[in-house]
Amino acid sequence: MSVLDPNRYAGPAEAAILRSDIAADDAARPALRQSAAQALTALHDATTALRAAQEAVDSAQKIYDHIAQLEASLEERTRVSRGLLHPIRRLPNEILSMIFVADERSESDQPFIVAAVCRRWRAVALSTPSLWVTVSCELPTVKAAEQSVTYMNFHFDRSAQLPLKVLIDYEARGSVPGTSFALALGKLFRRARDFTFTSSSDTAHMLSQCLTGRAPDLTDLYLNDTYFPGTAPTARPVYWLADPLAGIHHVSVGSNAPTLYGEF
């Protein structure tokens, strides 16, 4: 049906057509109302069924969650019970300490992993100085270097008076860590047996300030800094040591791959 213009009066011919259309619309209206009522009833029934289904889903979910919680509690109780019966709990602390030290995996945080297992393992790990003698840090930023001070000092304290193996890889370019890092590094150096420091920045001045004092246990020294060009050995950093080099077996200084030079 075309859109009618309401701003006029229909002529005789058009009026006859309009009356015919009105009669047809009036005749169709009851059927449309009946269809609408049926659709509304179907919508109500579907809504009621959906609500009931949602209630059933919620109820089933609560039952499942309760069962899952019971199962998790059962698993935890079983795990604890089996742990209490594990033969490793019968080992003396001395044997447990030897096992920790014998684990030669390369992770720098291995002592912390061991110490996080349980209270007993933590106590044994913290009382085993040889577990903490390797200090290994990869430092991509100055912030990482500053944050590593706590880690370095922890190793220094927990290793008692044992000689250390120190491996520091400072990768931040164009910047040098602050005083706290230099002080911590200096402490490690003076107790080190093996000391390796590689850097992507000019850290020679910092090293000259912190690699000082007696290092009586030092046997291997490797410094790789962009400040030192080439691979030829140089005595330049050696004068930082207060004592003669009698105890040092190998020295390597350069900006390329590690190279061990002759024994002293």
Strand order in the sheet with 220-224: 134-139, 164-170, 192-199, 220-224, 250-254
Cα–Cα distance, 136 to 105 (Å, whole number): 13
Question: Would you place residue 232 in the very low, low, confident or very high pLDDT band (cuts 50, 70, 90)?
Answer: very low
Ramachandran region, residue 230 (left: φ > 0; alpha: ψ -120 to 50; beta: rest): left
Mean pLDDT comparison of 98-102, 228-232, 259-263, highest-scoring range: 98-102
Question: Would you place residue 155 in the very low, low, confident or very high pLDDT band (cuts 50, 70, 90)?
Answer: very high
pLDDT exceeds 80 at position 62: yes
pLDDT exceeds 80 at position 188: yes
Q: State mean pLDDT over 143-168.
A: 93
Q: What percentage of the chain exceeds 90 in pLDDT?
A: 42
Q: Which residues contact 161 (CB under 8 A, 6 or more apart)?
A: 129, 191
Helix (H) or strand (E) run with residue 252 in it? strand 250-254
pLDDT on residue 249 = 62
